[in-house]
Amino acid sequence: NAGVTQTPKFRVLKTGQSMTLLCAQDMNHEYMYWYRQDPGMGLRLIHYSVGEGTTAKGEVPDGYNVSRLKKQNFLLGLESAAPSQTSVYFCASSYVTGQGPNTEAFFGQGTRLTVV
Amino acid sequence: GESVGLHLPTLSVQEGDNSIINCAYSNSASDYFIWYKQESGKGPQFIIDIRSNMDKRQGQRVTVLLNKTVKHLSLQIAATQPGDSAVYFCAEVESGATNKLIFGTGTLLAVQP
């Protein structure tokens, strides 16, 4: 049981290049999230998904797109990378409970992205 | 590489002492408040949560206190160990069906042997 797996773990991009970060979870979780983490700051929500085929904007969605074509995968795309997108990106998933919000999200190991 | 812990508030404690990490929140409508622990190079890991209608909840070596009057949350760690060294984040779950976790800035806990 791998949990939440992110690929790649590290990447360096030139300004203007595009790339896709892949998040895969094998826990059959409904909800998936993409966060970015910058030094001295907490995690900020980029986009999230409450189920296959659905996505929604989080706190800082500009410059990113996402897709959830399969329940187990959540892709984060950068169409034209900018230095401001240099960050550590974390994917997370959580499951539905029948008794209100679920507070325990499972996180991947992170992807360190540098845009030069 | 640059650490996520740089520029964060830091709490330095001696091994064996109790630690208290504080957090202020702003959204009175949140249903749950949560503490996550993030070790260097890893993703955050759930520690404990508390529902908004509770004042206190205890876990193994940890206690979370919620003061809704002043919108304050704290995490108490008893007998702090070197393995407790990490960045600690408070988070809140927004009401509704999205399970969105909104994180605070974080506090770096440094345990001195």
Residues in chain A: 116
Contact B98 A31 (CB under 8 A): yes
Q: Which of B93, B95, B105 sits opposite A41 (nearest CB)?
A: B105
Q: Is the pLDDT of residue B4 over 60?
A: no
- Cα–Cα distance between A84 and A44 in angstroms, integer? 14
* Residues of chain A with C-beta less than 8 angstroms from the C-beta of B93: 101-103
Whether residue A62 lies within 8 A of chain B, CB to CB, comes out as no
How high is the mean pLDDT of chain B? 89
Work out the pLDDT band at A16, boundaries 50, 70, 90: very high
Contact B44 A56 (CB under 8 A): no
Which pLDDT tens digit goes with each residue over A21-72? 999 999 999 999 999 999 877 899 999 999 999 999 999 999 999 999 999 9
Q: Which of B3, B45, B100 sits opposite A48 (nearest CB)?
A: B100
Question: What per-residue confidence (pLDDT) applies to B30?
Answer: 83
Structure tokens at A93: 């998933």
Question: What per-residue confidence (pLDDT) applies to B3?
Answer: 42
Residue of A nearest to B44 (CA): A107
Q: Is the pLDDT of residue B62 over 90?
A: yes
Average pLDDT over residues B20-24: 94
Interface test with chain B among A45, A48, A103, A112, by most B beta carbons within 10 Å: A103
For residues B27 and B52, is the Cβ–Cβ distance under 8 A? no
**Minimum mean pLDDT range among A100-109, B7-16, B60-69:** A100-109
Whether residue B44 lies within 8 A of chain A, CB to CB, comes out as yes
Which pLDDT tens digit goes with each residue over B35-55? 999 999 899 999 999 999 999
Give the minimum alpha-carbon distance from A75 to chain B in angstroms, rounded to a whole number: 18
Torsions phi, psi for A95 (to 5 deg)? -115, 165
B110 vs B113, higher pLDDT: B110
Which pLDDT tens digit goes with each residue over A69-81? 999 999 999 999 9
* Other residues' Cβ atoms within 10 Å of the Cβ of residue B22: 14
Which H helix or E strand runs over B106?
A: none
Work out the pLDDT band at B95, boundaries 50, 70, 90: low
Structure tokens at B91: 């988070």
Question: What per-residue confidence (pLDDT) applies to B101?
Answer: 85
Question: What per-residue confidence (pLDDT) applies to B31?
Answer: 83
Whether residue A26 lies within 8 A of chain B, CB to CB, comes out as no
Question: What per-residue confidence (pLDDT) applies to B79?
Answer: 97
- Cα–Cα distance between B33 and B48 in angstroms, integer? 9
Q: Is the pLDDT of residue B1 over 50?
A: no
The segment with the largest mean pLDDT, out of A19-23, A94-98, B25-29, B30-34, is: A19-23
- Cα–Cα distance between B110 and B46 in angstroms, integer? 19
User: Maximum distance among all alpha carbons in chain B?
Assistant: 44
Whether residue B34 lies within 8 A of chain A, CB to CB, comes out as yes
Contact B31 A102 (CB under 8 A): no
